Amino acid sequence: MQEFHYDALPGRVVFGAGVARRELRAEADRLAVDRVLLVATETEEPLARELAAPLGERVVAVFTSVRPHVPIQVAEAARALAASVRADAVLSIGGGSTTGTAKAIALTTGLPIIAVPTTYAGSEVTPVWGLTESSASGTSIGTEQSRKTTGVDHRVLPRTVVYDPELTVTLPADLSAASGLNALAHCVEAFWAPRRNPISSLAAEEGIRALAAGLPAVHADPTDLAARSDLLYGAYLAGSAFAVAGSGLHHKICHALGGAFNLPHAQTHAIVLPEVLAFNAPAAPDAARRIGRALGAGAQANAGHHEGADHTGDTDPVRALRELSAGLGIPRGLRELGLREDQIDESVELVAPAVPVDNPRRADRAALREIIHAAWAGSVPATELAARS
């Protein structure tokens, strides 16, 4: 018998190719807002203005000084602009940094956000905000001077999210893979994250299927709109699963490695994820089976084998994750990213205090060493082994 707690999050989702061009005005009408502050990066400003054009004079100002990780000065400038133009809503068009800037405004003003994401970050469906400041304590983002503080506040959760895969075809292949793999990690990790429940697992499993179908297809052809739709749908589900379930051991390891050794975010995620899954799988067999089933279904959909797809759960999830990453050109081991073997012990010490207490298997220092060493050494993909024999 099931027993669980589940905090469902509110929000309206509008999804489809072309919806950003067709439906933004109707969505502003639904929220009854008429003094909209448009937020976008300088690069995406022309696109954002084009999409917001049907709102006419309801767009009262445009804020373009978006920077990664939302420096506090940027947040304050955006809030000041919102106040000076008496904005009654924020329309953000862009990636996680842009959504984060809109959230910073909502955090202190309570203004509703309409979010139009153009990457697979997933921030648009979470109530999590993040701000970077120079001196206050918080979570390190990798430099001695910068400290990222994060928090949860339901005021920052966008009221409406407009997902339009047409906006993502310009996202370069490497950024698409990085952003999509991050989403995949959120889905896998949702199976053992602290607030997991049957609903978040459902979203995560479907998210893995969609991402496993979309990632290789977008890698092969970034203009493939159907594959872009799969990726964006998967990213939405990944964000939703993460928002509800939270993150676990994998993210703790990646955060520590990224912060201490400046390793690239997405590649580190892609390399560490199969090792954490391999470690947790014996104690979480249902999760492993469902992750394998979703990866198998995604791979088959990508291969165009919709008919007679085998959803029996026979796919080895660890092998499937490694093959997916290898197909995207991700290096096999952390050593290829520059991590030295003698830094593994230091990594273990950094991760050990942060290990989630309810990880399916007890991850003591010896276990952490095993996981990180395996990720450091890297595995030879099964396809390559087969080719060699």
Contact between 69 and ligand NAD per CB under 6 A:
yes
What is the closest distance, in whole angstroms, from the C-beta atom of residue 315 to ligand NAD in the complex? 27
Give the residue with the Cβ less far from ligand NAD, 61 or 175: 175
Is 119:92 a contact under the CB 8 Å cutoff? no
| Residues touching ligand NAD, count (CB under 6 A) | 25
Q: Where are the beta strands (DSSP E) in 223-344?
A: none
CB atoms within 10 A of CB 207: 30
Please name which of 91, 90, 102, 36 lies closest in space to residue 66, comparing C-alpha atoms.
102
Q: Which of 168, 267, 300, 343 binds ligand NAD (CB under 6 A)?
A: 168
Q: Which is nearer to ligand NAD, 109 or 149 (CB)?
A: 149
Q: Which of 17, 33, 60, 95 binds ligand NAD (CB under 6 A)?
A: 95
Question: In angstroms, rounded to a whole number, what is the distance separating the alpha carbons of residues 235 and 50?
Answer: 24
CB-nearer residue toward ligand NAD: 169 or 367: 169
3-state secondary structure (DSSP) of residue 319: helix
All residues at 6 or more sequence positions from 47 whose CB lies less than 8 Å from its CB, including other chains? 40, 93, 167
Nearer to ligand NAD by Cβ, of 158 and 274: the residue is: 158
88 or 124: CB nearest ligand NAD: 124
Q: Which of 46, 68, 329, 338 binds ligand NAD (CB under 6 A)?
A: 68
Pairing of strands 12-15, 160-163: parallel
DSSP β-ladder status, 147-152 and 139-140: antiparallel
The answer to whether residue 215 forms part of the interface with ligand NAD (CB under 6 A) is no
Query: What's the chain's Rg over C-alpha atoms?
Result: 21
Sign of the alpha-carbon torsion through 368, 369, 374, 376: positive
Choose one: 7-15, 21-29, 168-176, 304-312; the region binding ligand NAD (CB under 6 A). 168-176
C-beta closer to ligand NAD: residue 234 or 360: 234
| Helix/strand/coil percentages in the chain, nearest 5 | 60, 10, 30
What is the Cα–Cα distance from 377 to 333, expressed in whole angstroms?
5
Residue nearest to ligand NAD (CB): 96
Q: How far is CA 355 from CA 117, 186, 241, 367, in A?
A: 32, 17, 20, 11
Query: Closest CB to ligand NAD among 180 and 298?
Result: 180
43 binds ligand NAD (CB under 6 A): yes
What is the rounded distance in angstroms from the CA atom of residue 355 to the CA atom of residue 126? 23
Verify binding: residue 247, ligand NAD, rule CB under 6 A.
no
Is 92 a binding residue for ligand NAD by CB under 6 A? The answer is no
Indicate whether 325 belongs to the interface with ligand NAD (CB under 6 A): no
Report if residue 167 touches ligand NAD, rule: CB under 6 A. yes
312 is a contact residue toward ligand NAD (CB under 6 A)? no
Binding stretches for ligand NAD (CB under 6 A): 41, 43-44, 68-69, 94-98, 100, 118-119, 121-123, 126, 128, 130, 167-168, 170-171, 175, 179
